[in-house]
Structure 1
Amino acid sequence: MGADREGGTRRRPGRAVAYVACGAVLLAGCASMPDSGDLSGVDSTQIQDTQVRVFAVPPPEDATPTQLVQGFLEALTSDDPNYETASQYLTKGAAKAWQPRTGTTVLADSPDAFELPRPRGREDTGETSFTLSGIKVATVDEQQSYAPADGGYEALLHLAQDPKTKQWRIDELPPGVVLGQGDFERNYTSVNKYYFASNSVAGGSRQTAAVADPVFVRERVDPMTQMVRSVLKGPTTLLRHVVRTSFPTGTALAKGTTTLTPDEQNKLTVPLNDKAARVGLNRCTEMAAQLLFTLRSLSPSLEEVVLESGDRQLCSLASGRAGSTATRGSTDDVEYVYFVDDEHRLVRMKAEEGARTPEAVPGALGEGQTQLRSAAVSRDEEMAAGVGRDGKQLYVGSLVSGGSLGEPVLRSAGKTEKDRLTAPSWDAQHDLWIADRNPDDPRLLLLENGAGDPLEVKTPGLDGRIESVRVAADGVRIALVVSQGEQSSLLIGRIERETKPGEDRPTVSVMELRSATPQLEEVTTVSWAGDSRLVVVGREQDGVQTVRYVQVDGSTPEGPAPAALTGVKEIAATEDDRLALVAYSEDGIVRLQAGGQWQKVVTDGTAPVYPG
């Protein structure tokens, strides 16, 4: 774009180069300074040591407008904590008004900058303007929440020349920060901060479920302190209605606190302001658990969090005790993986690595008298639900020998199999979710405790037909595969429950459905694979099927993707990443341990599921 036109400039994506010589001037726009090691050229796509921080250099006195703009864009990609150097490219007034933390726009490539032609006869007025342009791929808002985006980006930079010093500075610019995807991936990392489900409990117990709220922080700019501040500010907009925090309103780090660092015993002391001074022990323990859950994803070696206010210790919590305060993921350790065998019975197999011998589940669903096409097992592995082979009926029974099945708890009037019931899914409150795809009466349904008259779940804004339902272990998020014409996509929404005065049953809604896979043209199957991560099988625009991990916010998590596998029809994962992925493919039931290759387990079998 701008690089191909006169007066245009384009930064090489991910490039941060430092030049130094005795008595020489550092060139603005292509100069950054590492704060350790020898001075050298640094390509952000090749940086492996995440402890090396890269800082931009201020503009030289003789910088041209093009150099100034290029240097400013380079400074936005540096590890300068408060963008002090980037502010030096601005006039004093612009620097005071600029708010870099209002959000980040991520472009497919580094932004193109093109200087607009100056009016004839007014070339030397001391003013000029540049357009910044590119293709948007995502935005990160003021709450640090990521969202996929598309379409073009265009913004204006206005430069003015000081009449006395003749130095150029930017005096008008858009709010926030703009940078290319390569620089974003180098500079930022996704971290889950944690809150508590406000209207659900985990696994049917009285213990509260911890809910992951992913945000992006600058990876080499004291991420631990960033995350503590982020937790204290509260949940992002998407989860605000369904989670709570134990920190009192107005709680912040004590005045003068700049950096939080664990001591030699991996204990982190967090000084808080007086808003937290009077909390009781139980509430303080929940506060510490929120921070432990959050910070251990940044520093797995963190062993203890101590909360203080003033000169008084409020409480302390060791990592081994955090799980007794709230649960992450499933309440119980997963013992089995389940699937439907060639006799259309529900069978199970030990979830541990190396297990290859399936057995029929105890109870009526394992006896084969009712043939199944799909099933779901409750998170405590005591109940199971199965959809009949023709997709018309939903059955629920206990996984106890001798248990009877009884009549179907739900029937679909769809005329064909594809217009009937989806596979079911159990939530953390022991409720059962399923969608009826009948074109004459499409519905998302919930059966409380897997029984009784189904509640019709409201889905405002849903455009398309639900093909698959998967509820997260936290009980407040749901993943829906939704088809529209020849395309299908993965949508993530939050679950809201409200019981109005005088009513016995709640009103249940799925709100703010958002796409998590905008780059996929067709989503085949999905399963939760972590607190905020899913594994998805889908087809890209070029027609190639892919197996990948995605975050609930639509970003791509760090780490390797699952090994390639063709012909995948269904996939199953669990929140425990130590357990294998299990899939139904053209080779039958196959399993993938972390870092390994897919291995065949059973030739004849379909519809694999873990509890949930």
Structure 2
Amino acid sequence: MRAARRALLTAAAAVLVVALTACGGLPVSGPVNAGKPIPESEADGGLVFIPREPIKDATPEQIVEGFIAAGSGPSENWSTAREFLAADIRTQWNPRAGVTVYRAGERTLRQVAAGDYALTVTPSATVDAAGEMTFSGDAGDISLSFTLAQQADGQWRITQAPDGIVLDEGRFTAVYGSYALQFFDPTWTYLVPDQRWFPKQYAATSIAEGLVDGGPGAWLEGAVSTAFVDGARLAQVAVPVRSNVASVSLQDGARALGREVLDRMQTQLETSLAAAGIDAVDMLVDDQPLAAEAISVRTTRVDSRPLVRTDDAFGFISGGSGSSIEEIPGLSDALVPIDAVDIEVNADRTSAAVRSADGAVSVVGSDGTVRRLDTRAPLVAPSIDLQGYVWSVPAGAPGAVVAFAPDGTRVAVADAWPGAAEISAQRVSRDGTRVAAVVRDGGRWALWVAAILRSREGVPTGLGTGRMLGVLAGPAVALTWLDGSTLAAVTSAGGDPALYSQRVGGFGETERTPDAITSAAGGLQSGGVRLRDANGVLYAQRGANWQNFASGIRVLAVQQGSPR
């Protein structure tokens, strides 16, 4: 049985390699094609490419094509790819400088002069040396130059090549994996994911190196915290893994750190390495284990039940068709009298940010208080953060973001969405460290995210440098965080309703939705979403279909987490 299973797995892997090769835009026959998976026992359960080395008397074009194909083989620091290079540049070429990712078929290789070739690609994304992915948008084609010369043995080799590698999307996602480096919010309460892309073969070492020796991405600086400090960096850039237990060797300075710091370090390492299949982590100094245990952090998960407003109640649906509502003590009674069109409830369920039918933004407390905060018009749906600040912005003035303190104090948020002409939606992440928005920049609508900068007291002071995550077909009628790393926006440009799901630091995808959707909220499971249409019908996704979950829903509320 075991032998049969191994044969089936090997056959399946071979089929996958053939599929990837066929759609990769690279030669599908000939001697320079990347292709074979290594045996299962060596692949550690995943697909690994073994690109072919140069063949004798290969043409310059075949050498360039083979070099590009060999980018799919990171084994031994891309040793096969280096065989296509002249001896004097093999150690100079840096494959870890980054990855240019393109859609299959969107590349051409042409000769521009004797021994000179240009590879033109239309990138969909780029990945830098730290593993951070940047969406390319409509940046257009880029050209990469290669120079070749015949060597003393008469063989053509590349004498000049750009650092980094080039992969189509299919091969990229086969070779590279997406891993979240985990950092803390400034209060050390939540873990904040910082998505990176690393070769799957070296995932554990890359994750530890990025977390311990690196730090958060530049766009997150000032918004997150890390327990790793100078003097307690990696003692060796290698993380052995045995029986799914990773051994992380640290510098001697780690001995002097307090237990609280060590526990936070352990927490960051364990949660970050779990994405690579690591079950446990040993932090070591001179091969001796450090006493540390992962701490409990507050979750950003939400209640699996939809939080809704019906004609006469506000609370969680506990029965089909919305007939049974479980109310939130105090808050439900305070919200029912309000003619609300948007509601977002804080994690403790003690207050809610509300946009009423007259367009004003208010904060409603479980003690029955209602404080009117913003009457600028027209305002987008408000968002409430973990500190109790209500975020509000007019659709026609994206830079005029204001955060209202729990006592109503108005705080202008500096550097909000520079260059944007309009904004259709804005939401703060459940951990309070990031804010996302759909804005019009020039002639396009795009999804952006930026870090929230705060004072020591937690007062929002400004936004960091924003990141564009993707281009949308039109303005968003709804925007929501599905989990700590994923956003969903609903658009209806051209009469075609669509749900655009986007991972921060990853790829996005679009799918059709029912007609006339007005709101969205993170739902059933991690990454799940629920939608409400203009007729009050609530939908939940079941596979590729949208199921009618309930009716008579006036407002689908957004949850900013769950009580402790």
TM-score band by shorter chain is: 0.7 to 0.9
Q: RMSD between aligned alpha carbons?
A: 3.2
* Displacement of 1:49: 10
* Displacement of 1:360: 6.0
Q: Where in structure 2 are the equivalents of 1:504-519 lying within 5 Å? A: 506=459, 508-519=461-472
- 1:63–1:168 contact (8 Å) kept in structure 2: yes
Q: Where in structure 2 are the equivalents of 1:525-604 lying within 5 Å? A: 525-539=478-492, 544-553=496-505, 555-556=507-508, 564-573=513-522, 577=525, 581-592=529-540, 595=543, 597-604=545-552
In the alignment, which residue of structure 1 is the partner of 2:240? 260
Letter in 1 for 2:75: D
Say whether 1:387 aligns with 2:355.
yes
- Deviations 1:59-92 (Å, cap 9, x if unpaired)? 1221111211111111012343411110110112
- Deviations 1:492-542 (Å, cap 9, x if unpaired)? 11101236xxxx9946112222222225344332111111111222357x7
Q: Where in structure 2 are the equivalents of 1:358-369 lying within 5 Å? A: 358=325, 362-363=330-331, 366=334, 368-369=336-337
Distance in 2 (CA, whole Å) between partners of 1:486 and 1:152 is: 20
In the alignment, which residue of structure 2 is the partner of 1:136? 123
Match of 2:373 among 398, 410, 422: 410
TM-score, normalised on structure 1?
0.79
In the alignment, which residue of structure 1 is the partner of 2:8? none
In the alignment, which residue of structure 1 is the partner of 2:413? 457
Pair 1:28–1:427, CA change in 2 (3 A): same
Distance in 2 (CA, whole Å) between partners of 1:396 and 1:358 is: 22
Distance in 2 (CA, whole Å) between partners of 1:284 and 1:463 is: 43
Please tell me whether Structure 1 or Structure 2 has the larger radius of gyration of its CA atoms: 1
Distance in 2 (CA, whole Å) between partners of 1:545 and 1:83 is: 44
- 1:100–1:176 contact (8 Å) kept in structure 2: yes
- 2:282–2:289 contact (8 Å) kept in structure 1: yes
Q: Where in structure 2 are the equivalents of 1:18-97 lying within 5 Å? A: 28-36=31-39, 51-97=46-92
- 1:136–1:152 contact (8 Å) kept in structure 2: yes
Pair 1:610–1:524, CA change in 2 (3 A): closer
In the alignment, which residue of structure 2 is the partner of 1:217? 198
Say whether 1:357 aligns with 2:302.
no
Distance in 1 (CA, whole Å) between partners of 2:165 and 2:290 is: 38
- 2:444–2:471 contact (8 Å) kept in structure 1: no
Distance in 2 (CA, whole Å) between partners of 1:554 and 1:607 is: 31
* Displacement of 1:404: 3.3
Match of 1:334 among 303, 316, 326: 303
Letter in 2 for 1:404: G
Distance in 1 (CA, whole Å) between partners of 2:48 and 2:110 is: 29
- 2:322–2:552 contact (8 Å) kept in structure 1: no
Distance in 1 (CA, whole Å) between partners of 2:148 and 2:474 is: 43
Match of 1:153 among 136, 142, 149: 142
Q: Where in structure 2 are the equivalents of 1:255-294 lying within 5 Å? A: 255=236, 258-263=238-243, 266-294=244-272
* Displacement of 1:579: 8.7
Pair 1:591–1:366, CA change in 2 (3 A): farther
Say whether 1:167 aligns with 2:155.
yes
Pair 1:316–1:562, CA change in 2 (3 A): farther
Letter in 2 for 1:165: D
Pair 1:31–1:304, CA change in 2 (3 A): closer
Pair 1:423–1:579, CA change in 2 (3 A): same
In the alignment, which residue of structure 1 is the partner of 2:364? 397
In the alignment, which residue of structure 1 is the partner of 2:434? 477
* Displacement of 1:572: 0.3
Equivalenced residues, count: 533
Letter in 2 for 1:145: E
Pair 1:335–1:505, CA change in 2 (3 A): closer
- 2:220–2:451 contact (8 Å) kept in structure 1: yes
* Displacement of 1:590: 1.6
Q: Where in structure 2 are the equivalents of 1:426-441 lying within 5 Å? A: 426-437=384-395
SS in structure 2 of the partner of residue 294 of structure 1: helix
Q: Where in structure 2 are the equivalents of 1:108-127 lying within 5 Å? A: 108-109=103-104, 111-118=107-114
- 1:515–1:554 contact (8 Å) kept in structure 2: no
- Deviations 1:370-427 (Å, cap 9, x if unpaired)? 32222221111111232221113x332323xxx4335x4324143xxxx2x3222111
In the alignment, which residue of structure 2 is the partner of 1:444? 401
Pair 1:173–1:529, CA change in 2 (3 A): same
Match of 2:181 among 185, 193, 196: 193
Letter in 2 for 1:526: L
- Deviations 1:409-464 (Å, cap 9, x if unpaired)? 324143xxxx2x3222111222221223466x972111222x32211111352412
- 1:195–1:211 contact (8 Å) kept in structure 2: yes
In the alignment, which residue of structure 1 is the partner of 2:339? 371
Pair 1:608–1:588, CA change in 2 (3 A): same
- 1:445–1:454 contact (8 Å) kept in structure 2: yes
In the alignment, which residue of structure 2 is the partner of 1:4? none
Letter in 2 for 1:36: P
Match of 1:488 among 445, 459, 464: 445
- 2:32–2:55 contact (8 Å) kept in structure 1: no
Distance in 1 (CA, whole Å) between partners of 2:109 and 2:463 is: 42
Letter in 1 for 2:290: L
Distance in 2 (CA, whole Å) between partners of 1:114 and 1:295 is: 42
- 2:538–2:553 contact (8 Å) kept in structure 1: no
* Displacement of 1:154: 0.5
Structure 2's unaligned 5+ residue stretches are 1-20
Letter in 1 for 2:48: R
Distance in 1 (CA, whole Å) between partners of 2:248 and 2:376 is: 58
SS in structure 2 of the partner of residue 282 of structure 1: helix
- 2:445–2:471 contact (8 Å) kept in structure 1: no
- 2:340–2:555 contact (8 Å) kept in structure 1: no
* Displacement of 1:356: 5.0
Distance in 2 (CA, whole Å) between partners of 1:486 and 1:98 is: 40
Structure 1's unaligned 5+ residue stretches are 1-10, 20-26, 39-47, 119-127, 202-206
- 1:36–1:52 contact (8 Å) kept in structure 2: no
SS in structure 1 of the partner of residue 409 of structure 2: coil
- 1:582–1:589 contact (8 Å) kept in structure 2: no
In the alignment, which residue of structure 1 is the partner of 2:3? none
SS in structure 1 of the partner of residue 65 of structure 2: helix
Range moving further from structure 2, 478-487 or 83-92: 478-487
- 2:347–2:559 contact (8 Å) kept in structure 1: yes
Distance in 2 (CA, whole Å) between partners of 1:113 and 1:367 is: 62
In the alignment, which residue of structure 2 is the partner of 1:520? 473
In the alignment, which residue of structure 1 is the partner of 2:557? 609
Distance in 1 (CA, whole Å) between partners of 2:511 and 2:540 is: 8
SS in structure 2 of the partner of residue 517 of structure 1: strand
TM-score, normalised on structure 2?
0.85
In the alignment, which residue of structure 2 is the partner of 1:5? none
